[in-house]
Amino acid sequence: MRLPVWLLRAAPFALLVTLVALVPLALRGANAQPSGRLPVVTSTTVFVDMIERVGGDRVEAFSMVPSGADPHTFQPTPQDVQRASRARVAIWNGLGLDETVEEAVVELGIPKLVTVTLSAGIEPIADEAADDEDLAENAEGHGHAEGNPHLWLDPTLAMRYVEQIRDALAEADPANAATYQLNADRYQAELAELDAFALGEIATIPPERRKLVTFHNAFPYLARHFGLEVVGVVLTSPGREPSAGEIAELVTRLREQQIPTVYKEPQFNARILELAARDAGVQVKSLYSDALDQQVQSYVDLMRHNVTALVEGLR
Ligand SMILES: [Zn+2]
């Protein structure tokens, strides 16, 4: 059977009309919020907690990087990206922590997406690992050399994050701006209390024992704020295992500096650090940094856990 010429000519046009008609429908579908809550996408579970504290029951926050995973090396699946397509607000840390997931969301081209970078406007500490040959090469294409991204582990900088989150939610959802303001004020008061508690606890560690050896370089802001010194880091760049020589050097440093405790982090396999600690005869405890898990489910819990681990390990 041959199709009439008019149908052959009309078919592409009809298809186009149908597609054009379907686009707004698809967009409405993508942005539909059955719960009525403001959908917010972010990178890690730590920021989900902060966003939920500020947004309360007005927001629905979700992280691209799952609980207990390392954001530095995480590659989102198509399902993760699909879920993000509903977002009206995107909240990233910046400084190279979450650029992979951010890029995936940028590629979606979500219209009117309110985007905020939490570390913006805060002077970062230079990342020592950026001097590394690997990263220096990388720095041309990526932003890893901009500075260390783990600002939130200093509670006073976490309070700056809260202001950024409050402003982003208010911009996307002005009708609830007063609620976001109230929630942010309450949360910041709690963070100020947390900070006072932490300063008091860490002050009980003798100054000569305030030395920190951690798995990855996540604690320079925490160390600066609380008067600790980072003397060693196992993982000098994301995804690269340390060499035997680097481990031997670490063991020597642990002995020389008489480090009482080294710190693993739950999102990393700690085997290497545990072997080094055994060789040097020091104990291993854990600190939380980039990820929450079943044991530690909020930023406040994370900081309380860390303070206790520091005091117990170093005092
Ligand atoms: Zn990190």
Kindly report, residue by residue over 47-103, the tens digit of the pLDDT: 999 999 999 999 999 999 999 999 999 999 999 899 999 999 999 999 999 999 999
Q: Could you say which of 155, 176, 197 is where a domain stops?
A: 197
Is 16 part of a structural domain of the chain? no
Q: Of 137, 167, 197, which one is at a domain's C-terminal end?
A: 197
Q: Are residues 249 and 297 in the same domain?
A: yes
The per-residue pLDDT for 61 is 97
Report the separation in Å between the CA atom of 141 and the middle of ligand 1, taken as the mean of its atom positions. 20
Based on the fold, state whether residues 237 and 189 are members of the same structural domain: no
13-17, 107-111, 138-142: which has the minimum mean pLDDT? 138-142
Looking at 104-113, 130-139, 157-166, which range is the least confident one? 130-139
Mean pLDDT of 206-214: 96
Q: Ligand 1 centroid to 224 CA: how many Å? A: 17
pLDDT band at 9 (very low <50, low <70, confident <90, very high): low
Q: Please say whether the beta carbons of 42 and 51 come within 8 A.
A: yes
| Residue 152 domain flag | yes
Question: Are 191 and 245 part of one and the same domain?
Answer: no
Name the most confidently modeled range: 131-145, 195-209, 233-247: 195-209
Highest mean pLDDT among 13-17, 68-72, 129-133, 158-162: 158-162
Q: How far, in Å, is the centroid of ligand 1 from the Cα of 269?
A: 14
Query: Residues 27-37: pLDDT tens digits?
Result: 444 444 567 99
Task: Indicate if 176 and 43 belong to the same structural domain.
Answer: yes
Do the domain assignments include residue 2? no
How close is the Cα of 295 to the center of ligand 1, in Å?
19
Residue 3 counted as domain residue: no
Please list all protein residues whose beta carbon sits less than 5 angstroms from ligand 1, which is an ion: 218, 290
Residues in the chain: 315
Burial 214-223, CB ≥16 within 10 A → b, else e: bbbbbbbbbb
Mean pLDDT of 168-191: 98
pLDDT in tens, 284-304: 999 999 999 999 999 999 999
Residues 144, 54 share a domain: yes
Do the domain assignments include residue 104? yes
Bigger pLDDT: 123 vs 10: 123
Reference 216, options 146, 287, 158; nearest CA is: 287
Same domain, 124 and 142: yes
Residue 19 inside a domain? The answer is no
> What is the extent of the structural domain holding 166?
38-197
% of the chain beyond a pLDDT of 70: 83
C-beta separation of 211 from 261 below 8 A? no
> Is 145 within 8 Å of 193 (Cβ atoms)?
no
> By C-alpha distance, which of 210, 205, 311 is closest to 259?
210
Same domain, 56 and 145: yes
Residues 210 and 290 in one domain: yes
pLDDT confidence bin for 237, thresholds 50/70/90? confident
Q: What sign results for the dihedral spanned by CA atoms 15, 21, 25, 28?
A: positive
Q: Are residues 175 and 299 in the same domain?
A: no
* 154 & 279 share domain: no
In a domain, 32, yes or no: no
169/299 Cα distance (integer angstroms): 19
Rounded-to-integer distance, Cα 63 and Cα 84, Å: 9
Residue 25 lies inside a defined structural domain of this protein = no
Of 146, 171, 197, the residue that ends a domain is 197
Ligand 1 center from residue 150 Cα (angstroms) = 6
Task: Give dist(CA 226, CA 212) in Å, integer.
Answer: 11
Q: What is the CATH number of the domain that holds 268?
A: 3.40.50.1980
Same domain, 188 and 210: no
**193 and 219 co-located in one domain:** no
**Predicted pLDDT at 250:** 92
Q: How many domains, the chain? A: 2
Separation of 71 CA from ligand 1 center, angstroms? 7
